[in-house]
Every structure is written in C-alpha cells, then in structure tokens.
A = this chain, B = another copy of it.
C-alpha cells in the first residue's frame, strides 16, 4: 500500500499543502473547522507522520516528559493517565521519569529529558526539593514547565493543584459531624505546601465548630503504613485519649486502622479514621477507608491543557502571573468513619 502523504490529504480536501501541514501541527492560525477536517482525513487515509523528519524541520519532538515522585501510589499513576489522555489526543507521547522522592534523581530526570529534547516537562516535585536551579534551567531554555499537586511557589510556573486547605477542612468537619471530638491529625514536614494546607484546614474546622485545638493531638513526622501504626502506639503509650484520626494520606491511615485493630478498638464505633488521596486499595479493605479524593484524572487533564495553552501561546510570559488551576477536593465517606 502506498504511504499517505500531506499532498494526499491536501488533494482530498482541496486545500493547500501548507494549510494541511499547519493544521497537523495545530497551528492556531488555522480555523478549528479546518483543523478537525484535516485530522479526520489524516486518520481516515491512515496518514502517519514521519516524526523524526518533522521534528528536525519544526524543532519539535512532540514528546512530553513527566516527572513523578513515585509510581507505587495510585495517585500519581492516575494523574499520569489524565495527562496521557489529553496529550495523546493532541498527538504527543508521554515519557515518564520516577524521582523516588530524591532530589538528585529529579535533577537527573530533567537532564535526561532535556537531552531527549522533549517539548515540555510536567512535574510534581520531591519532598527533598528546596533548591530549584534545575527547574530554572528548563525555563531558561524556554521549554514549557507545568507543576501538578506539589509545586515550588518561588517559581512563576503554571500549576494544577487541589485546594488542600479545603480538603483538610472537609475531612475534619466530616469527623466532627459524625460526633468525634478528640481528633488526631497526622502530618509530615511542613516544607511541602500540600501538608501545611491540610493542617491549616484541620485547625480551621476545629475553630469553626468551637473545638479547642490540642497540640498533643497533632503528630508530625512522615508518612507510611509503619508510621501510621507507630503514631497509634505512641498515643497509647503516652496515655493521650482520642476518638478519631485524620491522616495526611491513605497509607498512613491504613497503618492507623491496622494498629487500632491490634488493640481491638472498634472502627468506626469507638474511633473514626479518614485518610487523603483516595488510593485504589481504600475500597478493597475492611472497613472501607474514608478519604478525600483529589480528582486525579482531572488534575492530569488540566495539566495537559495548561501545557497545550502555553505552547500555543508563544508570547514570553515575563511579568504576567502564571495560571494556577485549583481543583475542588471531593469527600468520600466509607465505613471507617460512618457512625451515624
């Protein structure tokens, strides 16, 4: 079978070669109707771009690099799914790099992407990231950079996050409305804005409902199943009474549940538990884990849309504040906190 060329598409639609070429590149000078007609015809005729040749001509590879802290948690793989969905529809491929929460890996990932001449980078920073020369390097080269979930506020960079303050507020308010009063909050290092905001939400909810803040109920460390278990052991050893736990993320909440079960404490009758992130395992465990959903797929889709907008919008962004999309969290109530 003869290979379809841009000329074939042009002949089919009775338009010029350059209009087809620009429409295939989604050039904004081309009307939406023409763009759609060209893409549909290209698909019908089974047109396959010579990616390397077209990349050499346009200087564009149509490859986007995505940096994620970890693929072991469904939160990130789910955001990636949203990014892929929108980017594939728009003719881009996604390459992933896992930083494993280490700054030096993050730096290496960015080097690797720059070396592969990606058209843009979408990233969620590691817990260690406090310097950001490697991110400034991306901006210096005029390569679009978008953050999702975990951002660096010092850089004027477009981002998609959820309203973590609202999420922390909702989780705590839900526990209060279920009749819990001595609510523990487990949080991590406060250099990460998302955790700081969840804690702020917790405090504001207590205040709104007139429940005095007890510093002894706020445990600050890290996050993992093991850490969740150790928090409960600690509270017990120190004889601190509590009737609910709001953990900063679901794995820690799972550790809390496991440790409470070791002590034969009834969940949710005696103690309620809620996590954050709506990890996939939460609906498989018993009791089902209440949590706060972060609209992961939508977060990915929005990050992809911000990227496409930045690419189409070629003017330098100096001075203009970067666009920040903030999504609403969604409360998911399961058995671990439902006692009414």
Interface of A toward B, CB cutoff 8 Å: 51-52, 55, 61, 63, 65, 71-72, 74, 77-78, 80-81, 84, 88, 93-98, 100, 105, 108-109, 111-112, 115-117, 254, 280-281, 284-286
Contact = CB atoms under 8 A, between A and B. Distances in A.
B112 A95 contact: yes
Contact of A285 (B72, B109, B284): B284
Question: What number of copies of this chain does the assembly contain?
Answer: 2
Contacts of A112: 63, 93, 95
A68 to B, nearest CB: 9
A95 B95 contact: yes
Nearest to A109: B93
Contacts of A98: 80, 84, 94, 96
Nearest to A61: B115
Given A51-B111, A80-B71, A116-B116, A96 B96 contact: yes
A116 B63 contact: yes
A284 B10 CA distance: 58
Nearest to A258: B284
Nearest to A70: B77
A54 to B, nearest CB: 11
A72 B77 CA distance: 6
A71 B72 CA distance: 8
A97 B108 contact: no
Contacts of A88: 105
Nearest to A114: B52
A279 B72 CA distance: 11
Given A94-B98, A96-B98, 6 more contacts: A61-B115, A93-B109, A96-B97, A284-B284, A284-B285, A285-B286
Contacts of A63: 112, 115-116
6 contacts: A51-B111, A63-B116, A95-B97, A96-B96, A96-B97, A284-B285
